[in-house]
Amino acid sequence: MKKNKWASKLFVFLVLLFNYLPIFVVVIYSFNASKYGNWAGFSLEWYEKLFKNAQILRSLKNSLFLAVSSCALSILIGTAGAVGMAKSRFRTQNLLENVSMIPMMLPEIILGMAYLSFFSIARIPFGMITLIIAHTTFCVPYIFINVQSRLTGLDPAYVEAARDLGASQTRAFYDVTLPLITPAIVSGALLSFAMSMDDVVISFFVTGTTSNTLPLQVYSMLKMGVTPEVNALCTIMLAVVFGAIGLFYLLGSLRKKAR
């Protein structure tokens, strides 16, 4: 039994090392005084240059605005669609549910070409508006699937009890259904936010000249060579992500102790 425990721990350690070692290298080299691979001493030079790089900061601002906007619209559309599907029963319901997941299953390059053709035919100027529409389209299924699975396992007796006590259908939704599906909405929203921040292919087809996103900016820098400023930016973003995870963990621990 002890050998099996040590073997399982070693396996988990190797998997984590394989996944996080490249990230750890990026963090280390963001403090490297040299622009090249050789270590030349500790330095904050690249962080200083990062905050003076107007192009990277502008593209980061665009990416954050795009991710927040598309995520907010996806929450509204995906949640409304999942709730509506849960309350409806019609012949083609399963077909419609499967069709709603197509943006997740299609290759991004096909979606990007489809958006490009549609926006060109509709004569919609390429820019932040087309980016928000495209990102919202492929982010909606992540919200829809999470909320739908949560509603499937939700006991309808909760809503029925609220209605029996005199609550209207709207009040029963806000007081009973919405709090119960909030974890599914949050998990889907976080996944949608990450997908939007990470997207390159679709954004490449529908972006404009003044709406460059961070992934596209980094991609364009590959032609000239990526500087350690990108390592510094990645380190800051990693610190924010791990800080948020630690905060959620702390709040969860405090809530358990309060109970």
Share of the chain above pLDDT 90, in %: 24
- Residue 90 reports pLDDT greater than 80: no
> What is residue 252's predicted lDDT score, i.e. its pLDDT?
77
Signed CA dihedral, 233, 236, 240, 241: sign only? positive
In whole angstroms, give the CA distance from residue 106 to residue 114.
11
For tokens 């992934």, name the residue: 215
CB 156 within 8 A of CB 163: no
Q: 32: which strand partners?
A: 42
Could you read off the pLDDT of 31-86 as tens digits, one per residue? Answer: 888 777 677 788 888 888 888 888 888 998 999 999 999 999 999 999 998 888 87
Could you read off the pLDDT of 168-178 as tens digits, one per residue? Answer: 888 888 888 88
> What is residue 2's predicted lDDT score, i.e. its pLDDT?
58
Domains, the chain: 54-258 (1.10.3720.10)
CB 32 within 8 A of CB 228: yes
173 contact partners, CB below 8 Å, separation of at least 6? 83, 159
CB 45 within 8 A of CB 195: no
- Residue 1 reports pLDDT greater than 60: no
> What is residue 259's predicted lDDT score, i.e. its pLDDT?
67
Could you read off the pLDDT of 106-115 as tens digits, one per residue? Answer: 888 999 999 9
Could you read off the pLDDT of 209-240 as tens digits, one per residue? Answer: 888 898 888 888 777 766 788 888 888 888 88
219 contact partners, CB below 8 Å, separation of at least 6? 200, 204
pTM of the model: 0.84
One-letter amino acid at 29 equals Y
- What average pLDDT does range 140-152 have in this prediction? 89
- Residue 96 reports pLDDT greater than 90: no
Signed CA dihedral, 83, 86, 90, 95: sign only? positive
Query: What rounded mean pLDDT belongs to the chain?
Result: 85
Other CB atoms within 10 Å distance of the CB of residue 196: 28
> What is residue 246's predicted lDDT score, i.e. its pLDDT?
87
Q: In the structure, what pLDDT confidence band is assigned to residue 255 with cuts at 50, 70 and 90?
A: confident
More confidently predicted of 115 and 9: 115
CB 235 within 8 A of CB 30: yes
In whole angstroms, give the CA distance from residue 66 to residue 133.
10
> What is residue 67's predicted lDDT score, i.e. its pLDDT?
94
In whole angstroms, give the CA distance from residue 51 to residue 198.
21
> What is residue 161's predicted lDDT score, i.e. its pLDDT?
85
Other CB atoms within 10 Å distance of the CB of residue 231: 21
